[in-house]
Amino acid sequence: MLYLYPVRGSYGKQNQLPDELRLYITDENNVLEDYVYGSDGVTVQTGNLTTDDMFGKDTYYSFDLTTFVRNNLGTWGTARQKLLLSMSDEDMATSFDQVVFANHPSQERQCRLDVRIRVYNTD
């Protein structure tokens, strides 16, 4: 799972967070190749937005990158896919929503990728 935490104080009633963010799969030149789909292989992931209305500390977007990581294991060079994060075309054209991410040690919440590997013994 990829967890992206907006910078605290960079959003609120005036500067609202977008309801949806999309992860695109790109090649080495950032040319869009596809979306990142959910575990069903059909639904486009839009960054499950979880909001912490009480304290504002645990507001984040989450993406399941299982299929993306699985498809890129063992690849290298130009064969390795990249990710590009963006709002939908409609939101970019019709709203003033914005999101700011940072990964600085002084920030309370860091963007993170949680990787859990399950090993099966075939003996």
DSSP letters, 53-99, are TTTSSS-EEEE--HHHHHHHTT--GGGS-EEEEE--HHHHHH-----
pLDDT score of 112: 86
pTM, two decimal places: 0.82
Residue closest to 44 by CA, chosen among 67, 28, 72, 78: 67
pLDDT score of 3: 93
- Residues 57 and 77: their CA atoms lie apart, in Å, by 38
- What pairs with residue 32 in β-bridges? 26
- Residues 95 and 114: their CA atoms lie apart, in Å, by 31
pLDDT in tens, the chain (123 residues): 999 999 888 888 888 899 899 999 998 888 999 999 887 888 888 899 999 888 877 899 999 998 888 888 888 887 888 999 998 888 888 888 888 888 877 777 788 888 887 788 776
